[in-house]
Structure 1
Amino acid sequence: MTNVVIFVVEEYEPHPGEPSDTELLGLYEGTPLTERDSWWDAGSLPDRISIFRGPLMRLCDSREELVEEILVTVVHEIAHHFGIDDDRLHQLGWG
């Protein structure tokens, strides 16, 4: 992967119009590889993958469960970078 940054962020902050109690484990923000044209990289900012520490920690009851959920979340968000949508990720077991 090139021109992608990954952040660990404490909490997801809902966008305007989203319910204030929205919790996400991760978020991909960018243009998937499948949607880029030949002009895409001419000055484009990096895609962003954010992993949200607070929701992950609240979801899991053990260190082992947390490590597994972080793995699933990171793979899920990276898959979005490659153009794989949520429906397909669920079919593959990475939902």
Structure 2
Amino acid sequence: MYQMTDEEFEAAVQDAIDSIPEEFLDDLENVAIIIADEPEEEDFEGDGLYSENGDLLGLYDGLALTDRDGGYGFGDYPDTITIFKGPHERLEGDRETIIEEVRKTVVHEIAHYFGMDEDQVDAMGYA
């Protein structure tokens, strides 16, 4: 189990965001990307990305872009994408493996923001 410093993990998340094509990033509106050490109990109630050992790697909480109507946005709290550090560190592998899994998790959760379901995300190779 490789443990990253908070700075290393934050850099891995930022690198993952930076790897997303600009045309997709430009469409991210009213969404916050958050890093947390571990998921809270209520996080397990949502549809998140889980590792093979059942750890929650990331979670999108919000209203997908495809489900929004003309009234969305005024006074609404931002959607959140949370990336969990501890579950990534518990994955088998080295630093590079964790960085790659962070990238997959970030892309996976952003895909949910754009309205993709688990099957569509899986077909893209990000499940």
TM-score (norm 1): 0.90
Partner letter of residue 103 of structure 2?
Answer: L
Report the count of equivalent residues.
92
Matched ranges for 1:10-29 at <5 A: 10-15=37-42, 23-29=55-61
Secondary structure at the residue paired with 1:42? coil
Which of 69, 86, 100 is the equivalent residue of 1:54? 86
Return the alpha-carbon distance in structure 2 between the equivalents of residues 16 and 87 of structure 1.
21
Structure-2 change in CA distance of 1:2 and 1:71 (3 Å): same
Secondary structure at the residue paired with 1:34? helix
Matched ranges for 1:8-87 at <5 A: 8-15=35-42, 23-87=55-119
TM-score (norm 2): 0.68
Contact 2:44–2:56, Cα closer than 8 Å, also in 1: no
Q: Deviations over 1:19-60 (max 9, x none)?
A: xxx631000000000000000111111000000000001014
Between the two proteins, what is the percent identity of the paired residues?
A: 47
Following TM superposition, where does structure 1 have runs of at least 4 consecutive aligned residues deviating by more than 3 angstroms?
Answer: none
Return the alpha-carbon distance in structure 2 between the equivalents of residues 86 and 16 of structure 1.
17
Return the alpha-carbon distance in structure 1 between the equivalents of residues 56 and 104 of structure 2.
13
Return the alpha-carbon distance in structure 1 between the equivalents of residues 71 and 33 of structure 2.
23
Return the alpha-carbon distance in structure 1 between the equivalents of residues 117 and 98 of structure 2.
23
